[in-house]
Structure 1
Amino acid sequence: MTTNERPTLILVHGTNSNAYGWSGLVTELTLRGHRCVAVNLPGHGDNQFIPRSYQAPQDLEALASEPSPLAEITIHDYVEHVAGVVRRARQHGPVILVGSSQGGVTVSRVANVVPELIDRVVYVAAYCCVDLPNMLAYLETPENSGSLVHLIEAMKVGDPAELGVTRINWRSAEPKAFEAIKQCLAGDFSDEGVRWLANLLEPDETAAIPVSEARGEAQTWGRIPRTYVRFTEDRLIPLSLQDRFISEADRLTPDNPTDVHSVAAPHVGPFHRPELVEILAGLASQGEGS
């Protein structure tokens, strides 16, 4: 590769989300001259499924049982899709693979598969599983005890074991649902911002990801330079759990320590925090000519 090649930032969203959540970052980074692309994982974004019973007026009884095509999607589908994007981007220069929240699972798995094509992996308040096999195992750790995820779980509709998806009623008219989104995900968002977020999030997410093998492997993932962006006001993935991810990764790869940054942001900070733009722009500038 020539010395003037610029990295491509590939952005992977989290659960019940889509590429649009990165739109502000993509716009700002692009205007600064950086190459970046936000990926819609299979079953999300342009291919998302909106249950008929989720529309207004809602039919909550039907919503609890309406089948979803996302039930057939697995982590392998996510990995194959993102690895394909990595391969295409690599034809034009270095690649920086970024994952937010549950997107960290996909980032780690892709890094296990094509480590030679990735110049840096970045976790943005994301799951970075090392010692334990999957997200579910980390949910049961002491470091996760301060999480407010139970507020979101209370918004579930139907049985994930039967539906094959975790279905969240983001459009619930219950005041406690609005407060759950605000407290767990949105932090200091205005009420208008919380309503905007509730209409952005997608109702269905495959239930397979939290129980899928998610560990980064030392001989593949572990040899790639790694950055973790801590969100210090995160109430979904507590700061103590984020720090555990960093510590475990550093113990596994002591010769490849994590580059750590901190941003005072709630879990959905990527939507509104310019500090993250600065961090990613800096990493992209460092990667030029890799």
Structure 2
Amino acid sequence: MTPTFVLVHGSFSNSFTWAPLQRELALLGHRSLPVDLPGRGFAASFPVSYQAPQDLAALATAPSSMTGVSYADTVEHLVGVVRQAAEHGPVVLVGHSRGGLALTGAGNAVPELIDRIVYISAWCCVDLTVGEYMQEPEHASSATLGAAAAMAADPATLGALRMNWRTADPELIAAMKTAMHDGPDHEFFAYLNTLEPDESLDAGTERTDAATWGGIPRTYIRLTDDRSMPLALQDRFIKEADALTPDNPTDVRSLVSSHVGFLIHPKEAAGILAGLA
């Protein structure tokens, strides 16, 4: 039967980010379903103060659709999508960046409904939680630490993370570009304008379960030029996963890509996914 690629976006993103890759998959004869996690897509918050001219004081306090959205909400939503997709055939669950957290949760919850799980430079917490990995040496070189200066509100007050992706500050723009994409400026700005300002505070503490998640065939696609998710951290996820389930080793692939480059130029990534189907 024809599989469905269920595509899970990363932080501050939505289903729209997958459109170019979906196009390439369709041209290869494959169907795909991009997911909007809770509070995303057309349910996202875009305050008037985020538009131009910006009102930064108002932006810092405008309500967020992500306030109160928990990790559990995210997993529950994704599991519901997987259940529906599985009614029509095999499911290949694909996640990028923070989307890997939801993949792990779904893999722990409904392993029998997932035929393959694919992490694309994504969080795959095995021995530690996200917060703990962020204190480890492999994460120390992450360029996200510089881009965090674009935060537009106090998370504790807002109840969510809020970034000002539409800033005109050249230093902040340079820091964000370093973290995300090493291609031409026009590509970077086009991508930047697909992002949403808000993200949930709750990344959860769930880790991979050998008895459930561990039985699913898995692939990890390394992005070798990723400066947001350092390659050393990607490789640590792979190593720890293989130690957890030595009888079910990770199928490892590599792409020469920045953190979001494969979304902008998706032909090679689509070819890898099509081969997995």
Post-superposition offset of 1:174? 0.3
Post-superposition offset of 1:87? 0.7
Moved beyond 3 Å, runs of 4+: none
Aligned counterpart for 2:159 among listed residues 138, 159, 164 = 164
Aligned counterpart for 1:247 among listed residues 239, 243, 248 = 239
Correspondence 1:149 to 2:141: no
Paired residue type of 1:177: L
Paired residue type of 2:15: A
Q: Distance in 2 between matches of 1:214 and 1:105?
A: 8
Q: Which residue of 2 aligns with 1:269?
A: 261
Which deviates more from structure 2 when the two are superposed, residues 104-113 or residues 173-182? 173-182
Post-superposition offset of 1:48? 1.1
Correspondence 1:236 to 2:232: no
Q: Distance in 2 between matches of 1:127 and 1:158?
A: 25
Q: Which residue of 1 aligns with 2:94?
A: 98
Q: Distance in 1 between matches of 2:267 and 2:130?
A: 28
User: Aligned ranges for residues 1-290 of structure 1 at < 5 Å?
Assistant: 5-132=1-128, 134-187=129-182, 189-209=183-203, 212-271=204-263, 272-284=265-277
Which deviates more from structure 2 when the two are superposed, residues 244-253 or residues 46-55? 46-55
Q: Distance in 1 between matches of 2:82 and 2:125?
A: 21
Paired residue type of 2:195: L
> Does the 8 Å CA contact 1:164/1:208 hold for their aligned counterparts?
no
Post-superposition offset of 1:181? 2.0
Post-superposition offset of 1:99? 0.5
> Does the 8 Å CA contact 2:75/2:102 hold for their aligned counterparts?
yes
Structure 2 SS opposite 1:71: coil
Paired residue type of 2:160: V
Paired residue type of 1:37: L
Q: Distance in 1 between matches of 2:66 and 2:78?
A: 17
Post-superposition offset of 1:28? 1.3
Paired residue type of 1:278: G
Paired residue type of 2:163: I
> Does the 8 Å CA contact 1:22/1:270 hold for their aligned counterparts?
no
Q: Normalising to structure 1: TM-score of the pair?
A: 0.93
Please give the per-residue CA displacement for 1:103-140, whole angstroms capped at 9, x wherever unaligned.
000000011110000011000000000000x2121111
Structure 2 SS opposite 1:9: strand
Structure 2 SS opposite 1:260: strand
Paired residue type of 2:95: G
Q: Distance in 2 between matches of 1:155 and 1:121?
A: 32
Structure 2 SS opposite 1:200: coil
> Does the 8 Å CA contact 2:125/2:208 hold for their aligned counterparts?
yes
Q: Which residue of 2 aligns with 1:287?
A: none
Paired residue type of 1:274: K
> Does the 8 Å CA contact 1:181/1:198 hold for their aligned counterparts?
no
* RMSD across aligned positions (CA): 1.0
Q: Distance in 1 between matches of 2:29 and 2:42?
A: 26
Q: Distance in 1 between matches of 2:66 and 2:201?
A: 9
Which runs of no fewer than 5 residues in structure 2 stay unpaired?
Answer: none
Post-superposition offset of 1:229? 0.2
> Does the 8 Å CA contact 2:43/2:65 hold for their aligned counterparts?
no
Paired residue type of 1:193: E
> Does the 8 Å CA contact 1:178/1:194 hold for their aligned counterparts?
no
Which runs of no fewer than 5 residues in structure 1 stay unpaired?
Answer: 285-290
Q: Normalising to structure 2: TM-score of the pair?
A: 0.97
Which deviates more from structure 2 when the two are superposed, residues 16-25 or residues 66-75? 66-75
> Does the 8 Å CA contact 1:144/1:238 hold for their aligned counterparts?
yes
